[in-house]
Structure 1
Amino acid sequence: MTISTPRNAQENTPSAARPDVVAGQAVPRINSRDLFRQMREVEIAHEGRIYRLRLTQLNKLILTA
């Protein structure tokens, strides 16, 4: 009998409790550097509205409508 041990603690966590898994699939991850591309602000169009995602002076993210 072989007993396998998980590589990390998340492997034993049900997918419903893992923030990186939605409906059994991994959530895509985008690096903020790729998103901002040397800018401090990007606009996101969603359902007819424009949202602004900004980097603060302390490198925090703020999303506003």
Structure 2
Amino acid sequence: MPIIQVNMIEGRPPEKVRALIENITDTVVETLDAPKESVRVLVNEMPKTHWGKAGIPASEKK
């Protein structure tokens, strides 16, 4: 059973997250010949205060 984890900053509309899950699932099915029912996609949305780049939280970036 393929399990795919996606980590991203929160704030995208639910329909975009749904489309992401659908597209990732379809790609895994096509690439691995895996049954669609066996594919799991986990989306972890984090607040900007918990996501940093170059030592600076995303919440402080302009």
TM-score of the aligned structures, taking structure 1 as reference length: 0.22
User: In terms of Rg, which structure is larger?
Assistant: 1
Structure that is richer in helix per residue: 2
Q: Which structure ranks higher in relative contact order (CA pairs < 8 Å, sequence separation ≥ 6)?
A: 2
TM-score of the aligned structures, taking structure 2 as reference length: 0.23
